[in-house]
Every structure is written in C-alpha cells, then in structure tokens.
Amino acid sequence: MQFNWANITSLAYLTLLEQDIREFPIPVKKIKCKGVKICSYQKYAEITGATLEQITLGHELDDAFLLRGLRPGITLILYNKGKYPPRMKHTLWHEIGHIKCEHKKHSEKEEIEAHFFAAQITAPNVLIKALYKRGYSISTQFLMECFGISKEAAEKKMEYLRKYTFNHSNEYDDSLLEQFSQYLSKKYPPKNSCYYDEYFDEMEKERQNWY
C-alpha cells in the first residue's frame, strides 16, 4: 500500500490552524468539522427514540461511526460519550480524518490513513520535536500527560518516532509552532540553552540500520 504521509500531515495541521486550536489536550468542544454534525449516541437516542443497540447495530459500532446520506446535505458523526475520553477524542478525529482525506470507502488503507490523521492532530510531530528541543524527555508517559492521549496512542507515536524520526518537514510546521507558541512558553519553558537534536540523530542512525 502507498501512503502520502506528508499530505495527511498537512490536512491535520491545517485543521488545527483553521479551528484556531492553541492548547493541548484539545477540548472536546473544539472538535469540529465544517458541514458535519457531531452528536453522541446518547443524545441521538433521546432525539430519535432509538435504542443504543439499534444505533450501534447491536454494539458492533461501539465507539463511533460516520453517517452520510441520511438526509440531503447532512453528514453525521455519532460517538459513544461513555468511552475513555482520550480514546473518544481520537475516535472523533479519526472519523473527521475520513472526511478530510475524502475517503469514499472503508478498507484497511483508509483506516490507516484516518488513524494517522488523528495521531497527527492529537500529538503533532512538529510540537513533539519542539518540546524535545526545549529539553524535555520524550516518552510514552510524557506524551500521555502533555497531549492527553491514551497509552496505546502514545506507544504508537513512540514507535513512529523511532522508525521515521524527524528527518522530514511539513509546509505548515512554522505556522503551527507560531500558533502554539504561547502554550509552549507557558507550560513547557526551555530547560536548556542548547538546542541539539542528539536524540533524533540516534533514532535516525537506528532507522538506517534497518535497511
């Protein structure tokens, strides 16, 4: 399968910029998508009179799902607000990722792309690198605390960093750093005066040895 990681990263970063999100963890009220109504299973059950079992197809869709074509011009994202908050927020961004990536079907490739979109929006690579440069040790626990993501999501992000490091850049890197500059300065002031990427240099050497 071929993936355009740079393009998906651009879509995620552009979403953060357009929605003027300036802090982490991202508040639930900030999770939006133009032209899309986002509603919990519980609220939708109240509105429609349907049971949770009916809405989730017998709990087959227990986290969330994207619904198109129910009414002309309306796209719905329905989600289970009873889920663990970090997981629930990742799932919402995952569904928005399907929309931003203009997916027309659901297959393994589309699922991987939507997960990558969610991972880039809930814990952007460029901000993680900025935090390291400020002297913070990047670990699973740190990512969980800083970005409010689940342990599973933080572990997958660490796997990604070990494999790909930061030897790439994105067209929206500088804009995103500027948007989050106040957040970074307030919560994560620099610990050191030397901004040297030794950690990422080591990961890059390790990655090259895999080929």
The pLDDT assigned to 211 comes to 39
pLDDT on residue 73: 72
Residue the block writes with tokens 């009873």? 82
Where residue 203 falls among pLDDT bands split at 50, 70, 90? low
Q: Are 176 and 17 in contact (CB under 8 A)?
A: yes
**Which tens digit of pLDDT belongs to each residue from 16-47?**
999 999 999 998 889 999 888 998 888 888 99
Cβ-based neighbours of 101, under 8 Å, separated by 6 or more: 8, 11, 110, 113, 114, 117
Of 187 and 169, the structure prediction assigns the larger pLDDT to 187
**Structural domains counted in the chain:** 1
Domain that holds residue 171: 5-208
pLDDT digits (tens, 9 = 90+) for 54-90: 888 877 778 888 877 666 677 889 888 888 889 899 9
